[in-house]
């Protein structure tokens, strides 16, 4: 969001620095003083989402500034040099003429305050709405019913209820190897990874999740090279040593391994292991380019052992082990949320309808930000570039609260002569007042 007149590098630099200050001030205003304002979990999530959007815009402008300062083509250096020396006055009057031409063409160009409003509006209104399902309760709980169904459809797993599943879901490495070596388990891991990743991005948008998962992946790769991922490296290699086909160029190179080694390698892949040395080598070499599900039937063994399932190849074991590692790391971050969800499910199953209704009403009454009553009044001008409504303390309400209550939505009532009501709550309340007025008459 640069001003239209920002045609020079110097002006673009100044404009970007100004926008950085605006975004920093907005983030400071949204975050507030943690010692005086204590928010409920849903309110904290909504606030963090707003701050994350502002921070993302701040990072984009920082990258633009870095690109300008690097000055790879020397354009900025030439522009700065043109402001000094013998041609300084001609350069000055050329820029002055450009500014006058700009204002002549755009006589109603917005002032700085309106630009500030437009910048924050552009950043916040264009951000995607990271909403939650009803089961997630504004980020307090997880909604993993579909993942629970996928888990129950896996072969060889215990058929547990939803609450029990939530308490043990983050310990994926307890899954038996026969189950973990299947394609269905890989699909389940992928779905679990995708949901947890997206849930963390929505509930903890300020967390450096990409960097944390990147560090976890580097740590895993280091342990994999050392052969210390015992669940996937010892379990299979302890039975039979797998032949690495990636470096094999012809079947003849496999013949040097001998009959027994070729037999074990073929059995590992679920292929027939009989025949001469040449036939075994050709059959094993074929597995380099043809997946097991596309292999001709005459090469496939009638009874495939568990280790021949998808996921037991070198690449498959590595991918599944890495997925388990990343899911486990995210499960640690969500441990409290998973436990709270399991407790909520168990309590809901044991409560009556009246108890549930009473708890919901109490939660609605308590879902208000708490502020220190002894907070001193500030005599400084109120910072309110978005023209937000004022709260009980005479200060603008936070933007996340503004969006949470839908105060940016306009409702017109034809009965009241197309009078505008801002927010669904105000619109519904005016109908109740109207009915009460008629009842009194």
State the greatest distance between any 2 C-alpha atoms of the chain, in Å, as a whole number: 103
| 16 and 109 assigned to the same domain | yes
| 199 and 298 assigned to the same domain | no
Does residue 179 lie in a domain region?
Answer: yes
Query: Is the pTM higher than 0.85?
Result: no
Does residue 32 lie in a domain region?
Answer: yes
Mean pLDDT of 78-92: 75
The string of pLDDT tens digits covering residues 177-190 is 878 888 899 999 99
Rounded-to-integer distance, Cα 271 and Cα 295, Å: 9
| 341 and 434 assigned to the same domain | no
Does residue 152 lie in a domain region?
Answer: yes
pLDDT of residue 382: 62
Boundary (domain end) residue, out of 125, 152, 170: 125
Does residue 401 lie in a domain region?
Answer: no
Does residue 197 lie in a domain region?
Answer: yes
| 58 and 207 assigned to the same domain | no
CA dist list (Å): 88 to 36, 39, 57, 80, 328 = 53, 56, 35, 10, 63
| 172 and 252 assigned to the same domain | no
DSSP-assigned states of every residue in 243-268: P-GGG--STHHHHTT-HHHHHHHHHH
* Element housing 431 (H / E): helix 424-440
CA dist list (Å): 115 to 112, 123, 381, 395 = 5, 12, 19, 22
Alpha carbons within 13 angstroms on the beta-carbon side of residue 285 total 16
| 180 and 301 assigned to the same domain | no
Does residue 319 lie in a domain region?
Answer: yes
Give the residue numbers spanning the domain of 147. Answer: 134-233+313-375
pLDDT of residue 324: 93
Boundary (domain end) residue, out of 280, 308, 336: 308
| 17 and 144 assigned to the same domain | no
Boundary (domain end) residue, out of 71, 90, 125: 125
**Is the pLDDT score of 309 beyond 50?**
no
Q: Give the 3-state secondary structure of residue 397.
A: coil
Could you tell me the two tokens for 372? 């220190």
| 298 and 339 assigned to the same domain | no
**Residue with the two structure tokens 């210390």:** 228
Does residue 1 lie in a domain region?
Answer: no
| 282 and 328 assigned to the same domain | no
pLDDT of residue 372: 46
pLDDT of residue 386: 61
| 296 and 323 assigned to the same domain | no
Cα 74 to chain centroid, rounded: 38
Mean pLDDT of 42-65: 85
| 252 and 167 assigned to the same domain | no
User: Are 304 and 288 in contact, with CB atoms under 8 Å apart?
Assistant: no
pLDDT of residue 331: 93
Rounded-to-integer distance, Cα 64 and Cα 303, Å: 61
Does residue 421 lie in a domain region?
Answer: yes
Number of domains in the chain: 4
pLDDT tier, 433 (very low <50, low <70, confident <90, very high otherwise): low
| 185 and 296 assigned to the same domain | no
């Amino acid at each position: 969001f640069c001003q239209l007149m920002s045609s020079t590098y110097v002006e673009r630099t100044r404009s970007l620095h100004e926008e950085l200050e605006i975004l920093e001030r907005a983030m400071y205003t949204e975050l507030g003083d943690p010692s005086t304002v204590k928010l409920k979990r849903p309110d904290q999530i909504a606030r963090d989402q707003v701050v994350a959007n502002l921070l993302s815009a701040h990072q984009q402008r920082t990258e633009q500034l870095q690109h300008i300062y690097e000055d790879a083509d020397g354009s900025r250096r030439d522009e700065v040099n043109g402001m000094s020396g013998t041609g300084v006055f001609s350069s000055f009057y050329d820029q002055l003429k450009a500014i006058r031409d700009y204002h002549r063409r755009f006589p109603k160009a917005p002032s700085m305050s309106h630009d500030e409003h437009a910048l924050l509006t552009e950043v916040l209104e264009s951000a995607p709405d990271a909403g939650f399902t009803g089961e997630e309760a504004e980020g307090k709980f997880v909604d993993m019913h579909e993942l629970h169904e996928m888990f129950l459809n896996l072969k060889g797993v215990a058929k547990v209820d939803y609450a029990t599943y939530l308490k043990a879901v983050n310990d994926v490495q307890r899954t038996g190897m026969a189950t973990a070596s299947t394609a269905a388990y890989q699909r389940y891991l992928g779905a679990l990874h995708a949901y947890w990743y997206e849930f963390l991005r929505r509930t903890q948008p300020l967390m450096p999740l990409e960097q944390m998962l990147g560090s976890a992946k580097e740590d895993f790769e280091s342990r994999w090279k050392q052969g210390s991922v015992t669940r996937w490296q010892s379990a299979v290699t302890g039975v039979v040593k797998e032949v690495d086909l990636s470096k094999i160029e012809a079947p003849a190179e496999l013949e040097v391994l001998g009959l027994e080694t070729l037999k074990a390698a073929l059995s590992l892949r679920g292929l027939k292991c009989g025949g001469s040395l040449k036939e075994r080598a050709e059959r094993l070499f074929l597995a380099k380019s043809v997946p097991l599900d596309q292999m001709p039937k005459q090469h496939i063994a009638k009874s495939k052992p568990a280790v021949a399932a998808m996921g037991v190849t070198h690449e498959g074991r590595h991918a599944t082990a890495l997925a388990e590692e990343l899911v486990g790391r995210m499960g640690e971050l969500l441990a409290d949320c998973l436990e709270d969800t399991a407790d909520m499910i168990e309590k809901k199953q044991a409560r009556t309808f009246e108890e549930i209704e009473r708890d919901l009403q109490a939660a609605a009454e308590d879902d208000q930000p708490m502020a220190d009553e002894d907070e001193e009044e500030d005599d400084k001008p109120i910072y309110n570039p978005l023209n937000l409504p004022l709260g009980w303390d005479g200060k603008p309400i936070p933007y996340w609260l503004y969006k949470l209550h839908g105060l940016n939505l306009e409702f017109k009532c034809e009965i009241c002569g197309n009078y505008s009501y801002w927010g669904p709550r105000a619109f519904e309340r005016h109908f109740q007042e109207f009915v009460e007025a008629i009842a009194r008459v």
